Amino acid sequence: MPEDKEFGVRDSEFRVWVWMFLCLLFLLLTPYSLLITAVHASVVVNAEVDRKEVLIGDRIIYTLYVIADKGTELELPLDSPDFTPFDFVGQRGIEKIKNKGRITYKIDYVLAAYEVGELEAPPQTVYFRDIKGKEGEVASERIKITVKGVVPKNKRDNEIKPVKEPVSIEVKKSGGVLWILLSILFLMAVIITYAFIYLVKNIKRHEETALLSLSPKDVALKELNRIEKLGLIEKGDFRTFHIMIEECVKKFLLNGISIYQAGMTTVELLKSTEPARDIKEILLDCDIVKFGGFIPSVNEALLLLEKAKSAVEIYHRA
């Protein structure tokens, strides 16, 4: 009897220790799980395709939805995203929707399938940094797409058509006067071309000399004013307008260097210079127009120009 009593006491102590261990483990793992959720809570990524069964060579519309809190810095898959084993044909467009403190990006990619079988569209990863400075990444799910190799008989668009015979062109012989006239015209063209190139080089050399005496801030403001006077917004050429604004801001960030490192992406530039948040927002807005085909309104384009001028002034004083 005493032995049974002692065994019961030990069993009760063992259960207490087990419960204490489980509670301690729960307390240790709970903050970690909450941290993982918080890092991804500010950004949500979803994807869909317009159809999951296609014929070889067909085009597929892959739509990526990125929902983020306002103020979150994003690196969207805009510049040559990887969709292997599918071929990336291009981007059909991008939409930017603001609603209740959140921004939704809808990006349409055009893909093509040249392999037969059960294929998977790979996940697209979005890197971000929230307003508290926490960095993270979120990826879309894989999407299975069936690619068939049989072309229906009613599709005759790709039928081989007979090749037309080459058309013969008769060239009449001309006299010596025509050759003399052509020679004179050729010499005049060479002289005019040389004079034009010489004049352009001198003007460019003069402009470069004048720019060297200006500060990076003055150079950037002068370029922004020049872009404004081109009238690209009035012509509806928003893409060229945003590309020129982006190039101007990037050169300013690199202290007026006219040619920055080849292949440097916007994200790499931001990491190397760590500019203010308003400049990061300007470069992101330019990227979604440059790579994603987003078409802003006239007011949004004018606001971007004013934000760029203000950022140059503020960043220069900082």
Domain ranges across the chain:
43-148, 177-212, 214-317
CA 35, CA 213: separation in Å to the nearest integer? 52
| DSSP letter assigned to residue 140 | P
pLDDT of residue 152 exceeding 60, the answer is no
* Res. 162 pLDDT band, cuts 50 70 90: low
pLDDT attached to residue 260: 44
Query: 162 is written with which tokens?
Result: 């007979």
CA 188, CA 190: separation in Å to the nearest integer? 5
pLDDT attached to residue 20: 65
* Res. 130 pLDDT band, cuts 50 70 90: confident
CA 187, CA 262: separation in Å to the nearest integer? 39
Q: Is 199 helix (H, G, I), strand (E, B) or coil?
A: helix
CA 247, CA 244: separation in Å to the nearest integer? 5
pLDDT of residue 123 exceeding 90, the answer is yes
**How many CB atoms lie under 10 A from the CB of residue 296?**
18
Express each pLDDT in 4-53 by its tens digit: 444 454 556 666 666 666 665 555 544 433 333 333 567 999 999 999 99
Give which of 282, 281, 275, 266 is closest to 314, Cα–Cα. 275
Flag the least confident range among 80-94, 231-245, 258-272: 258-272
Q: Do the Cβ atoms of 283 and 248 come closer than 8 Å?
A: no
Question: Is pTM, for the whole model, over 0.75?
Answer: no
Angle (nearest 5°) at CA 118 between 112 and 119? 45
Q: Do the Cβ atoms of 224 and 245 come closer than 8 Å?
A: yes
CA 301, CA 46: separation in Å to the nearest integer? 28
Residue located via tokens 């960030």? 253
pLDDT attached to residue 121: 92
Give percent above pLDDT 70 in the chain: 69
> What is the rounded average pLDDT for all residues in the chain?
78
Determine the distance from the C-alpha atom of residue 205 to the mean position of all C-alpha atoms in its chain, rounded to a whole number.
Answer: 34
Average pLDDT over residues 211-239: 87
pLDDT of residue 59 exceeding 50, the answer is yes
Express each pLDDT in 283-306 by its tens digit: 888 989 988 888 899 999 999 999
Average pLDDT over residues 54-76: 90
User: Counting Cβ atoms within 10 Å, is residue 295 exposed (0-12), middle (13-18) or buried (19+)?
Assistant: middle
pLDDT attached to residue 194: 84
CATH number, domain 43-148:
2.60.40.10
Give which of 133, 111, 106, 136 is closest to 122, Cα–Cα. 111
Query: 148 is written with which tokens?
Result: 């068939």
Q: Do the Cβ atoms of 258 and 223 come closer than 8 Å?
A: no
pLDDT attached to residue 291: 86
Query: 178 is written with which tokens?
Result: 């025509």
**How many CB atoms lie under 10 A from the CB of residue 240?**
14
Average pLDDT over residues 91-98: 84
pLDDT of residue 245 exceeding 90, the answer is yes
* Res. 124 pLDDT band, cuts 50 70 90: very high
